């Protein structure tokens, strides 16, 4: 069984792509709505909350978890993989959404921490739109820089977007915020043209059209759900130990918050009704 973890609704965009790519696999989703959003929190707090989420999903029988929250993945993933997971849950693993995006931008596998001598990445510029915690962690520029130092990375925190999207705000309400963040990032670019932007929060695919409208023509917009699904398929091909038990079936949704309220709002992210259960 594969777990998918997010601070709220955003990870449902990733879950939908995973289910579409592997409809026969059982998935368990957990949204930590009681503690959302993670973006304004301290790194230590995010780390503790992420570990608590992992423990809840492992207790549900998951053997592999995808952290579908950029904030949690950027701040906590490497540390929990190295310090917590081997002793707390040996034989199980946790992956994150940041890795497939870095691989897509740099065209270098994640396990390679330094640039191969024969790898010549073309000079280009990448804009990152993300939560404040993801931006402050420096994970995107650090990991991209290791693998493709010729790529210029410019980041822009978007603190208003997750609250707006989570409460189901209309495009008319969200568009001014998106346009404002795009203007600030373009100002940071100066005279250098922008080639690609990363929507570095799993909520943002729902407003991809607003980013595309605000950005200059020709800028590529990368979203994480499809990249994450493709990466997970490749990982599962390499790790047959995570094949599902024949008795495991279906799709379950859990939240640490108000299950009725979460169920009402979450369908927009997943594409059809999502009956959440409360998980303490």
Are 278 and 255 contacting, i.e. CB atoms less than 8 angstroms apart?
yes
Distance CA 129, CA 40 (A): 15
**Per-residue DSSP letter, 81:** I
Give the three-class secondary structure for 257.
Answer: coil
Which residues are known binding-site members? Answer: 6-7, 38-39, 70-71, 202-203
Round to whole Å and give the CA distance between 168 and 172.
12
The two structure tokens encoding residue 61: 């029988």
Known binding residues for substrate are 6-7, 38-39, 70-71, 202-203
E strand intervals along the chain: 2-6, 27-31, 64-67, 93-96, 124-130, 151-157, 196-199, 220-222, 251-255, 276-278
Q: Name the catalytic one among 62, 158, 201, 223.
A: 201
Catalytic (active site) residue 62 = no
Catalytic-role residue among 62, 69, 158, 223: 69
| Residues in CB range of 95: below 8 A, 6 or more apart | 64, 65, 66, 67, 77, 231, 232, 235
Peptide bond just before 37 cis, omega within 30 deg: yes
Q: Which residues are catalytic?
A: 69, 201
């Amino acid at each position: 069984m594969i777990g998918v973890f997010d601070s709220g609704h955003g990870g449902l965009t990733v879950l939908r792509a995973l289910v579409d790519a592997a409809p026969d696999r059982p998935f368990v989703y957990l949204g930590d709505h009681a503690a959302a959003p993670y973006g304004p929190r301290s790194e230590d707090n995010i780390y503790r909350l992420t570990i608590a989420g992992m423990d809840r999903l492992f207790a549900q029988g998951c053997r592999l978890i995808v952290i579908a929250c950029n904030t949690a993945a950027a701040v906590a993933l490497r540390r929990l993989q190295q310090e917590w997971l081997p002793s707390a849950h040996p034989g199980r693993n946790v992956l994150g959404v940041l890795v497939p995006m870095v691989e897509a931008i740099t065209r270098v596998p994640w396990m390679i921490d330094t640039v191969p001598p024969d790898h010549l990445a073309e000079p280009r510029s990448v804009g990152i739109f993300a939560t404040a915690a993801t931006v402050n962690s420096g994970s995107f520029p650090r990991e991209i820089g290791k693998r493709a130092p010729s790529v210029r990375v410019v980041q822009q925190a978007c603190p208003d977007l997750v609250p707006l999207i989570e409460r189901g705000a209309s495009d008319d309400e969200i568009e001014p915020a998106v346009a404002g963040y795009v203007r600030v990032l373009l100002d940071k670019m100066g005279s250098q043209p922008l080639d690609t932007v990363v929507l570095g929060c799993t909520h943002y695919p729902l407003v991809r059209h607003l980013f595309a409208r605000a950005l200059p023509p020709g800028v590529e917009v990368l979203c994480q759900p499809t990249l994450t699904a493709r990466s997970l398929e490749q990982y599962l091909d390499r790790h047959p130990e995570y094949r599902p038990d024949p008795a495991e079936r279906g799709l379950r949704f859990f939240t640490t918050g108000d299950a009725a309220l979460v169920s009402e709002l979450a369908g927009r992210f997943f594409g059809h009704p999502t009956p959440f259960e409360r998980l303490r």
